[in-house]
Amino acid sequence: MELGLCPVFISSLYLQVNNQLDDLELGKVYVAKKDYPKALEAFGRYIAKNPKLAEKKIVEMKNLIGKIIARSKNKEILTTAHILLADLHIKSRAVTKAINEYEKAARLAPKNGLPPLKLGYVYEYITEYDKAINYYQRVVNIHAAYKGEKNKEYAKIAREGIDRIIQLLGKTQRDLEKI
């Protein structure tokens, strides 16, 4: 005999029985405690685990991350907050707002290759390939200047983005040097 319980009820029941919170609820707790690194980490996991978020959840997280941005002075926290806020703007198809947030993150952390990598993705997605290549090249330059394992991985991904655009457009190296 089938119970016909909806998945939301079952997952809510599971969380209550196991006394666990999902990452969104956990992030809210950390925001209330002003433990912003843990809040942002929880929000990041929530975004990654839920590729299709309901607009209500996106708005809720935007507001919570906005509070973190308003309250924190720490550049690393602010950088992560702006990146996550931009990721949420992407999910709600607010590309211009996402670009603005990624640019804020890039200004806060000029040695971090992730914000320009994400800008490269966005510009590639909206078919502004010259801008995409510029941002991807910036990631490669950041790695060359500052090293680090994360920047090494970002540079590898950026090179793949450049190669993908070159293949798509049939651009030559000489064409790219003019950009």
Residue 141 domain flag: yes
Q: What does the alpha-carbon distance between residue 113 and residue 154 come to, in Å, rounded to a whole number? A: 6
Residues 103 and 150 reside in one and the same domain: no
Residue 153, classified by CB atoms within 10 Å of its CB into exposed (0-12), middle (13-18) or buried (19+), is: middle
Q: What does the alpha-carbon distance between residue 167 and residue 179 come to, in Å, rounded to a whole number? A: 16
Residues 99 and 140 reside in one and the same domain: no
Residue 159, classified by CB atoms within 10 Å of its CB into exposed (0-12), middle (13-18) or buried (19+), is: middle
pLDDT mean across residues, the chain: 88
Question: Of residues 118 and 11, which shows the higher confidence score?
Answer: 118
- The whole-number average pLDDT for the span 34-45 is 97
- When computed from its CA atoms, the radius of gyration of the chain, rounded to whole angstroms, is 19
Residues 72 and 100 reside in one and the same domain: yes
Residues 120 and 58 reside in one and the same domain: no
Residues 92 and 34 reside in one and the same domain: yes
Residues 115 and 97 reside in one and the same domain: no
The Cα angle at residue 130 between residues 126 and 133, in degrees rounded to 5: 95
Residues 178 and 124 reside in one and the same domain: yes
Residues 79 and 141 reside in one and the same domain: no
- Residue 108, pLDDT > 80, answer yes
Residue 58 domain flag: yes
Domain extent at residue 28: 13-109
Residue 67 domain flag: yes
Lowest-pLDDT range of 54-58, 87-91, 151-155, 175-179: 175-179
- The whole-number average pLDDT for the span 129-151 is 95
pLDDT-derived band of residue 153, with 50, 70 and 90 as boundaries?
Answer: very high
Residues 51 and 67 reside in one and the same domain: yes
Residues 134 and 77 reside in one and the same domain: no
CB 36 within 8 A of CB 11: no
- The whole-number average pLDDT for the span 25-35 is 96
The Cα angle at residue 84 between residues 42 and 62, in degrees rounded to 5: 85
Domain termination residue (choose one: 109, 128, 156): 109
